[in-house]
Structure 1
Amino acid sequence: MADKYIIQVTAGPDYDIDQHIVVPVNTPDPVKISSELIDIDLNVRVQNYQGLPRNSPTTSPYFSLEPHATNQDQYSIALRFTPKRPPPGSRTSTSTSTGSSATGSRTSSPSRQSSSSSRASSLSARLSRRNTDSKKSSVTKKPSDAGEPSGISGHDLQFGNDFDHPIRDRLPPGFGYAMNIVKWWIDPGLEGDAYADRPHLYGPALSSFNVVHVGKGGRADPEKGGLWFEEGGDEEWRQEVAGAPQGAKERKAWALKAPAKERWVWEYGRTYCADFFNPYLDFKELALRLPGFTLPVMKYWDGQSLSANTGDQNKQRRRSHALRYVLRNRSTADTYLIVVFTLYLREDIDEDGELKPEAREAIARERQAFMVGGEVEEKGEGEGGNDKEGEEARKKLEGLEIAKEKGEEKTGGDDDVD
């Protein structure tokens, strides 16, 4: 089923995909994303990539280097970013500012949808802001020799996934057990609700990123696939100002504690580097491979369409699917970076790698339908848990828990997944 679709990666500072730029996957030159809140250099790498733009490299030297070769990592989102002090009196999303657009020369029609898609994207941004946690944590300040620079607190800067519309009708049997595996085995900091009207799973960026480097981290290295960062950087700042330990594993464990997130501040004007990678999401086979649990994603995504009028499902194949990674502010719901992995039907893409006009219109209508359609029948997290697949997932999870109690070593690395 995966061979029916082709993937494209786009990125921008907010949810409006019309303003995104196409990311040239597996190329060493970073793309630049800028808004009034942040400046970002971005590389996206995907192992066994067979997507757009056409003739993209299928891999990157990044995957042949350690620790990625041993981990068998399947993708990477690497970014170098400098948060900016927000304009006076402004605590609104970058999507509302007229100048917040991605900079760069690479554009492509699949990321340029019709005006109805633009309206849908605007609605998407408004809906996603409602995901803001009811518990507000204020921007904190840390003293320094230069005075009192402020920034984004370790509590507030989040990284994760969200959706514009309910996905509970398409979650497979055993999904709840799979999420327990993710939180137990991979990322204990994840919080959210996949069964909500606006599903989201966010974790503190401080504990979610596999690598955090304080400073610019050097130039993009073609022999390493572009942006390449080592844990560390300005160790004096990390240890004396933030109190963070040196190693990546130690920093991730430390960052799960509330005092750590209070002490660490992503300061305005200071540059940071981060890399998010893992071996769990296979973009070639479109499968999620967790320890003891494999989920063929398209088995549950394909053939599910939503009627804008009735909310009923039918068996018409959807023309596009999207997986969205979000760097955001928990307190203000400001977005800093949105990276979208979109799957298009191959039949909808022309020889030049562009969306056919009729497909573009159909996708815009489809997106609109999913965001303003009727009610979707709610399925609780435990529903389906007694069927064959759910029962099998439960047994595997119990086995992992027994291994943990015995103190056995994990397999599959120390990576995060969303």
Structure 2
Amino acid sequence: MVDHNKFILRVTAGSSYDVSTHQEVKVNTSDAVNISSDDIDATIRVRVKNYRGLPKDSPSDAEYFSHPSHTRDLYSIDFSFKPKQTWSGDEIVFGNDFDHPIRDRLPPGFGYALKLVKWMIDPGLDGDPYADIPWLYGPLLSSVNILRIGDKDAPANDEEKIVEEGAEGEGEEIRQDKSIPENPSARMKHFLTESNRTDFEFEAGREYKCDFFNPYLDFNEFALKLPGFTLSIISSWDGQPLRYVLKRRYKDKDIKDSTLLFVVCFTLLPVDQ
């Protein structure tokens, strides 16, 4: 069995799949990666509990994990974004994809683990991990643990804060008008219904804050730890990074024709590299 202690993690983010164009994420710090493209302005922070990785001076933990809401969580992808055009709520997806097939590398028990993930974490998750270009995406509105709707054309605020479900300014009216539940779990369930997603708009110039986290993916041991079931990631690793992507999909086109908005890459590197 592969020893996870022989590897460290590097986290990068950018608006392209080309990692050479990415910025390195300073994990567990207040420093954010800022991304600006023709489609979006975004700010990204990543937190990993018991972090072992680059940059070498990265803190092993963040105050985030001491917050009462996050004492069990193992990582967080915290991001905010402002679209530069208005999109339907059903168009924006969040999830994972890969450049090359992984079907021959999937460990025993993967199918069962995926069913557990859909049941416990994200019922809206869809995709094809057995495809030549594997993907697993869920609607952003039902996938992120926390969603906060901000004001339109408000000045960007890069200050690090733990994002809480809710709204600011005009965003409160939007949540009320669209009957969006105040509770995060209820909001996620609300947006599992397609008509509720198509009735929502990500407006150009309005800020949306999100936090995606869970207590199941252990980046220290590179394993998925579900209740009563642990799936080693590193034992089946083929060298590809684990990518989290925000994308715009098109209703009448193949998912491969979707537009990448940003990507966060978790890349394993040998300790002695």
- TM-score normalised by structure 1 residue count: 0.60
Counterpart of 1:24?
26
CA–CA separation in structure 2 for the residues paired with 1:183 and 1:23: 28
Q: What number of residue pairs does the alignment pair up? A: 259
Residue 231 (1) aligns with residue 168 (2) = no
- Specify which structure has the higher proportion of strand: 2
AA partner of residue 68 (structure 2):
E
* TM-aligned CA deviation for residue 25 of structure 1: 0.4
Q: Deviations over 1:4-39 (max 9, x none)?
A: 111100000121111111010011122211111100
Counterpart of 1:81?
81
* TM-aligned CA deviation for residue 243 of structure 1: 2.9
Counterpart of 1:277?
213
CA–CA separation in structure 2 for the residues paired with 1:57 and 1:347: 20
Q: Secondary structure at the match of 2:272?
A: helix
Q: Secondary structure at the match of 1:207?
A: helix
* Aligned with 2:271 (options 324, 342, 346): 346
* TM-aligned CA deviation for residue 291 of structure 1: 2.1
Percent identical: 50
* Aligned with 1:265 (options 201, 219, 229): 201
Residue 184 (1) aligns with residue 109 (2) = no
CA–CA separation in structure 2 for the residues paired with 1:342 and 1:227: 26
* TM-aligned CA deviation for residue 220 of structure 1: 5.1
Runs of 4+ that moved beyond 3 A: 216-221
* Aligned with 1:166 (options 101, 115, 122): 101
CA–CA separation in structure 2 for the residues paired with 1:219 and 1:247: 24
AA partner of residue 235 (structure 1):
E
Question: Do the aligned residues in 1 keep the contact of 2:41 with 2:81 (CA within 8 Å)?
Answer: yes
CA–CA separation in structure 2 for the residues paired with 1:321 and 1:168: 13
AA partner of residue 90 (structure 2):
H
AA partner of residue 267 (structure 2):
T
* Pairing 1:71-150 to 2, within 5 Å after superposition: 72-85=72-85
Question: Do the aligned residues in 1 keep the contact of 2:109 with 2:231 (CA within 8 Å)?
Answer: no
Question: Do the aligned residues in 1 keep the contact of 2:13 with 2:33 (CA within 8 Å)?
Answer: no
Q: Secondary structure at the match of 2:104?
A: helix
- Specify which structure has the higher proportion of helix: 1
Counterpart of 1:247?
183
* Pairing 1:311-322 to 2, within 5 Å after superposition: 320-322=239-241
Q: Unpaired runs of 5+ in structure 2? A: 251-256
Question: Do the aligned residues in 2 keep the contact of 1:287 with 1:297 (CA within 8 Å)?
Answer: yes
Q: Deviations over 1:178-228 (max 9, x none)?
A: 11111122211000011111110000000000000001699555xxxx242
Q: Secondary structure at the match of 1:342?
A: strand
AA partner of residue 238 (structure 1):
R
AA partner of residue 191 (structure 1):
D
Query: Root-mean-square deviation (CA), in Å?
Result: 1.6
Structure showing greater Rg: 1
CA–CA separation in structure 2 for the residues paired with 1:206 and 1:239: 16
